[in-house]
Amino acid sequence: MTPAIAPPKKETPLLFEGLTWREFKAVEQLLDRPGYRLSLLDGVLEIIKMPGEPHETVKKRIAALLELYLLMAGFDFTPTGSMTLESEGGSAKREADESYKLAPGRRLPDLAIEVVFSRGGLDKLEVYKRLKIPEVWFWEDGVLEVYHLRGEGNALYYEKISSSEEVKGIDLNLLLHCVSMVNHVDAIKTFQQALQK
């Protein structure tokens, strides 16, 4: 099968250490430019240039398939896209590629999705742990890894799991197969037909 996306060269983020929250917020205002994403963890600022079309194609394909599943499975969900998630007390800030509230009345997303076309940088799971996001999906090089938040209080940690606990019943192998298809419309139709069986 021909992959849908020709992977670009993996970029390494720029890292700057020793920033206070206030300094980070000032830098964030100065560097508010399309095509760049800023994250923070424990005073370390990460600046990454977004890789463009391949990244956007994968993230939008995952979003389209997931939203089709959520709709057909009866979830009362709200897509929250790449909304800014931050905690001054947790010294953490991140924008997911896609995120979702999976029931009404949620303050923060239940699910964050990261499409990875870079190497190195901040420990993204640590950032999401500080933000208390229940589940995180990482797509990288055609592989999807799912992590679910466990524990309570200061003993929180992510456990790698084989199927989603937040999006119960979704066939992740089918989702990955459809993400890898060349044609977007064919991918959506294939996924929809499988869900209707």
CATH superfamily name and code, 14-196: tt1808, chain A (3.90.1570.10)
Kindly report the average pLDDT of the chain as a whole number: 88
pLDDT under 70 in the chain at which residues? Answer: 1-10, 51
Q: What is the pLDDT of residue 136?
A: 97
Contact 38, 31 (CB under 8 A): yes
Q: What is the pLDDT of residue 122?
A: 81
Please state the domain extents for the chain: 14-196
Q: What is the pLDDT of residue 7?
A: 54
Q: What is the pLDDT of residue 44?
A: 84
Q: What is the pLDDT of residue 9?
A: 61
Q: What is the pLDDT of residue 55?
A: 81
Q: What is the pLDDT of residue 21?
A: 85
Contacts of 53 (CB under 8 A, 6+ apart): none
Please state the pTM of the whole predicted model: 0.84
